[in-house]
Structure 1
Amino acid sequence: MVFIHGIGAPRQVEQERSAWTSALAEGALAAGHSRFASDLKSGAAETVFVHYGDLFSVPGAQGTADDLTEDEGRLLAEFMTDIIDEQLEDAEGDDARVLRNARAELVPNGPEQGLLQPVGRSINAATTLLSIPGLSRAGQWLSAKLLVRDFAQVARYLARAEPDAAGHPLDDRIRGRLHFALANSPQVLVAHSLGSVVAWETLHESGVEVPLFMTLGSPLGMRSVVWPSLRPQPPSTPPGVARWLNFWDRDDIIVARRRLERDVKPNADGNQPVSARVDSDGFWVHTATKYLRQAQVAGPIAEAALPDGPG
């Protein structure tokens, strides 16, 4: 099994892999797959955690949204507008009022000068967003600047910029990490958040066969920024994917257009994503471990990882 993470600060790989496998084992037990859960706990089930968070760290930069290019700053503001518009579809009362205020803060007031304008607008809107209790619980963000820093990673990936000394842009280097992990043809690929965009594009490039592709808390369906920036177009199921399950939480603010099967074309074998909702309690529902603890998420992973019999 291959895991690939989403937005956020750089991870400690082994610590993160352990957290994901522990959560998956918990979900597998709830789904009745005790053998698979035991294999996860003992290390008998082979898991690889693909980490790319370090690639967002630029030497000499502050690691904040202030380091964005002009195009990245614009994409960031558009990405946040997408999120707010999605939330407004179901919001009522005070929450709807706050969301409308946040959206208004993202609209330029007259001619803009320089990058700090869209970044500043994004931080102001994020501050307003985090005043909504439900949204502040949905992610791991303790401040508006941290939220914007993480959201900016989506913009930086989709900008297809920031080349290294060899001329390879940031998005290409990120996908390179996953290409390496896919070389052993895993049974399962689990992709969370921005990782689902990385995984989808990588699978199209590689054509590797994956029996189960699972996306958790995916922004693939965001229409203004993510969707039109995907490569290749029009979006379709990667050719080697035999089964694609897409899970979303009702309180996950990263998810938009949750039913991906309505918009993703099938591959040559007729396979399309199948989306399902999960309901996590408590704080930080966007985290991958919240999803993996769900029986309906862990069950299909166990079945794909142990195809020879009950788990």
Structure 2
Amino acid sequence: MVRGKPQLLFVHGIGGLRDTATDHRRWLEALATGARDAERADAISALTQGWLADVTFANYSDLFNRRGAQGDAAGELDEHEAPFLMELLDSMLDDLAEEFPLESSPQEARVIRDARFQLDAAIEGRQAQGAGEIGRRLVGVTTTMLRLPGVRQAAQWMNGWGVLSQLAQVGRYLDRRAKKAELGTVIRARVFESLDPARPLVVVSHSLGTVVAYEALHEYEGAVPLWVTLGSPLALGAVVLDRLVPRPAFCPANVAAWLNFWDRNDIVVGRPHLADWIRPSKSGVKAVTERVDSRGLWTHTATKYLQHGIVARPVIEALRP
């Protein structure tokens, strides 16, 4: 039997350089807001003061600090990043088209159609273009995607290059070529470094962090009463799913429960397919997916998800003795 004070691990997703202490505080504050929304206000002090669990924010953002993190010029992709991003954007647009059909969402459907036209043109002409020109064309695609009503005034991604450069982090993590694969190994080591496998671990992962957590949990030797995934790209078609290790993808054996949450205005999410495309563990545990609807301009942040009572309640319950 696993004993001892529970551990709560936050695993972040795509983005720029992070400050560990600041994000640790913000995620906890958002979870506290969610606890209040779930009518679990009695747990807020225990959560924020560290009495309920030892909380770790696993910050690996510095490992993506390539050529100055946020300072790359538009269109500056290498020859391996561009094909991955084409596949990723293709999957994202397929999912968005499914979520926003023309009959019920004409405004969103027109934006998605325009982005699809631009992406198809970039794919068709890629043989005659250098990586720089392809990058500029893909920036056009992501700039168009930012016109979607749910994200067009977003503060986190101010332009199409911001979207593209951060989406490229997914490809860099999943790159399995010899030396490139070392990045994933170092990231997972960073996630593990302060954990005690002898104590129960609750994991809350977001965005790319859900991909990192998937592979890390397959390597982890401790018990995980609950794994929560937020805004996950795990089921974004073959571009992510077929690159996971181990594959074919299945729920890690040490996870006792897996809850997956998605928002219809979150452009990075692979919609509800995750529960169907990732196999259950040998004990029968598989993802249980629920939709949340966030208020405000930008939904692809962990804090937006954590503020929902439906997300916070199971985390708190899993941590309580």
TM-score calculated relative to the size of structure 2: 0.88
Tell me, what secondary structure is at the counterpart of 1:49?
Answer: strand
CA distance in 2, matches of 1:178, 1:14: 15
Separation (CA, whole Å) in 2 of partners of 1:28 and 1:284 = 21
**Using a 3 Å threshold, how does the CA distance of structure 1 residues 299 and 98 change in structure 2: closer, same or farther?**
same
Q: Which runs of 5+ in 1 are unaligned?
A: none
Name 2:25's counterpart in structure 1. 18
Q: Name the counterpart of 1:190.
A: 204
Query: Is residue 174 of structure 1 aligned with residue 187 of structure 2?
Result: yes
Q: Distance in 2 between matches of 1:65 and 1:303?
A: 45
Whole-angstrom distance in 2 between the partners of 1:267 and 1:139: 39
**Alpha carbons of 1:168 and 1:75: their partners in 2 closer, same or farther (altered >3 Å)?**
closer
Task: Provide structure 2 residue ranges, at least 5 long, that are not aligned to the other structure.
Answer: 1-7
Classify the secondary structure of the residue corresponding to 2:259. Answer: strand
Give yes or no for contact 2:250–2:281 (8 Å, CA) kept in 1: yes
CA-to-aligned-CA distance 1:137-190 (integer Å, 9 cap, x gap): 567211111111111111211123594xxx862122111111224444443100
1:6 is matched with which residue? 13
Q: Distance between the aligned counterparts of 2:250 and 2:264, measured in 1?
A: 24
Q: SS where residue 229 of structure 2 aligns?
A: strand
d(CA) in 1 for partners of 2:154, 2:311? 19
1:304 Cα offset (Å):
0.6
Give the match for residue 83 of structure 1. 92
Map of 1:115-264 to 2, 5 A cutoff? 115-137=131-153, 140-161=156-177, 163=179, 169-184=182-197, 185-264=199-278
Matched-pair contact (CA < 8 Å) for 1:139–1:286: no
What SS does structure 2 have at the residue aligned with 1:135? coil
Once the two structures are superposed, residues 245-269 of structure 1 have per-residue CA deviations (whole angstroms, 9 ceiling, x without a partner) of: 1111121111114142212211121
C-alpha displacement of 1:135: 3.2
- Indicate whether 1:113 and 2:129 are aligned: yes
Q: Deviations over 1:262-300 (max 9, x none)?
A: 122111211111111111111111110111111110000
C-alpha distance in 1, partners of 2:254/2:153? Answer: 36
Change (3 A) 1:36 1:162: farther
Identity rate of aligned residues, in percent?
A: 42
Could you give the per-residue CA deviations for residues 178-215 of structure 1, whole angstroms, max 9, x where no partner exists? 12244444431000000000000111122432110110
Contact 2:118–2:137 at 8 Å: present in 1 too? yes
Residue 283 of structure 1: SS of its match in structure 2? coil
1:286 is the counterpart of 2:305: no
Deviates more, 1:131-140 or 1:42-51: 131-140
Letter in 2 for 1:155: G
Considering only aligned residues, what root-mean-square deviation do their CA atoms show, in Å?
A: 2.1
Shift of 1:133: 2.4
